[in-house]
Structure 1
Amino acid sequence: MSGILIRGASLVGGDRADIRIADGSIVAVGSASAESGDHVIDADGLVALPGLVDLHTHLREPGGEASETVLTGTRAAAAGGFTAVFAMANTTPVADTAGVVEQVEALGRQHGYATVRPIGAVTVGLAGQQLAELGAMASSRAQVRVFSDDGHCVADPLMMRRALEYVAAFDGVVAQHAQEPRLTEGAQMNEGPLSGELGLTGWPAAAEESIIARDVLLAEHTHSRLHVCHVSTAGSVDVVRWAKARGIQVTAEVTPHHLLLTDETARDYDARFKVNPPLRRAEDVAALRAAVADGTIDIVATDHAPHPDESKECAWSEAAFGMVGLESALSVVQHALVDTGMLDWASVARVLSTTPAHIGRLAGYDRPLSVGAPAHLTLVDPAASRTWSPGELRGRSRNTPYTGLTLPGRVVATVHGGVPTVLDGALVDAETVAAAAGTGR
């Protein structure tokens, strides 16, 4: 394949245009003609988005391959329109050394479905006792710029201060899992009348909000960048909004599931809906949607958390926390924010591509869909809809919370660095992607 010609796509500004791709870059936008050997995509009715970027993905490899691998996770990413993912550090061994992050980055390059940027652990073994090799990971081939103990809060304020001070030296960011551990011991779901009714230990909103409040003050004190993972409460939105008004370098993310689902899903003790942080009240969902619309929350990130069936098909109290979300993210954002009139497609590009890339200091997304830019793009059919089922998933795990829901939108094509990874709504086979990406396998 010498190139790709996309005919008549709707750009996020509303204009229709042809887009021609060759040698990994966009070479024409506007009116373009196919050249010999080009693969032609009829994009009538499709929206062209810059390739989506997920700042919060759990790929599980190394050590958790029963749940996901870099290959299966990036295939799921491509199916959802993502061309880059940031892989969380809670693997086995933990990604707390240059060697582990380089291994994860290399696996991403080998498979070719998406750019994989490892997230380095803040502390050794995620234990919160000793800073990990932050500088070594930053200067490694993986060029780590995002550090997180996600799954665990960096609860010690002195440890958090030191981490913020350290990463500031190389323009890194600490992505905090805001969960005060003493306030959430044994917690199973959002604390409220329903948790009492169901007999499940409650998870108070203050456990999240108090850590965010502490950390924005530490970020101000250290003149460093703080990113808040999976904001879930209206109170957290208020704290982030206050910090931004004060000029503190804080960014925040929300997950698709926190934009759509509420704690009412726990009534049937269906562990598909057990997640950390927990699903909250309808009032929190409304506040989170409004915060994305007004820019208080900067990005949407999936927190894609695959688990084997046995970790979810069990009693609620014994089940693992987490949901998969790469394949469904764009559809949920369309349903919750676009179809409700709260975001336009240009804003979708901002919260799902350009801003997460900027936070993670990922090159190639600062001038998307322009001549000379790397060819990372996603074509979506916003008029399509489908009833969600585990059959929509392309990763290794099946713990989706959306089974039975009708969701809008369909990813028709994904192009990563000029290489098609999805065409006509179907994944391109792994050997073809690896060969086209020049990685070999």
Structure 2
Amino acid sequence: MNFFLCLFCLLSTSAFAQIGHRFPSERKVVKDPVTGVMLTFLTSQPHGDSKIYPTHPQWTSDGQWVIFRSGIAKGEAMAVNEQTGDIVQVSEGGYTGMLNVSTRAMKLYFMRSTDKSPREGKTGRPRQASPVELIEVDLAAVFADSKAGKMKPAESYQRICGIVPAEVGQAADLALDAADEWIYFRETSQEAAKYLAKNARIEKSFGPRNMGAGPGGIAKMHVKTGEIRHVVSVPFQIGHIQANLWNPGEIIFCWETGGKSPQRTWVVMADGSGLRPLYPEADYEWVTHEAVISKDEVAIAIMGHRSIGGTNNSANKGTAVEGANPGQDPGWGNAGTREKPSGLAIVNLRTREMRIAGQTPSGSGLWHVHGSSDGRWAVGDDFSRSIYLIDRLSGKMSLLSTGHKDTAADHPHPTFSPDGKKIEIQSAMLSADNRTLNICIIPVSN
């Protein structure tokens, strides 16, 4: 009996690793106990779910499915139908780094390591750097065959676009261009150094997390031919590469230090031209979590989360959990206080004008920020995991949803849907352990 039980478990686990595998709906509608807003939880079980980062699309091009990560099929990409709650596995063989959902076609792109050897330690990372494949998934075919119960082998749905040599690129940061022809990725320091001027001043690590040292670079791969081209090199560490999804060939990225940067936000074109700071920041400003929200606009957070002069004032209150407010280390210097303007800011890529849309009166201030592409709404979370909505026409800010637990494994990372009518977050509201996240949709009403 034990033999057959073990065999059943083994076969079940194997089945869960297959692309197109369907899981029962977990969809639940819950009323926010404070604001009264009706929250739709697309997942509600403690698998350990997480949404795609706000710098990237969340919904498939038909608007019906949300792509996410989950422990329900460890290491694989998942999709959930917003209306039916059906959950479908949309990769097989794993992925690494960012998931990229096309806004033009029913396609999904991600990188995958070619190293199939056993992983080492708790990190699960390869023993040494290895080439990575760029994979394209035909989502329309996966969903159709999965619904019909007639799945083909994984290679029928997954296409290898090309291979990035280990010495050239890394798979963590990945962004699909608006035209769906090129995918941008982060170069290795060694590759980036080849394109810097010999007299370039390479930046050292900045801040207490010992990150930010250069050089860094961005390259691109053509999704049809696999051709690789260099885009740009800079003397610092690059992070959060994202494409302007309304303007082909425009890239936004950051100087990644794990906190405050000397100059966080940057813009460059896909041919390497036009490199400049997106928002030129002062030493006292703590700029973070930039997200392109429309053809001409990028939302950024100018933080106001630290005490003025080291005093314990209201700017640092708003959480009951020690350590929930990151960036308090003295090593970051005198930045991120409310002595100067702070809040959710919108930067215009064309005019370079910046306007602050709103700021919480106390607490950490807005942390992860986003906005609707029609220019009507902006949204942000704070360290307490509360969600604030800002009407950009009237300037009114309101608490949209709360109770997502400041003990949660991560912040909500609010992201608007393409039509501007709803916001996706990740929430621990339903979690018995107060940490495990689920995928949640919040409606936005006019």
Q: Taking structure 2 as the reference length, what is the TM-score of the superposition?
A: 0.31
Structure with higher strand content: 2
**TM-score normalised by structure 1 residue count:** 0.31
The structure with the greater share of residues assigned to helix is 1
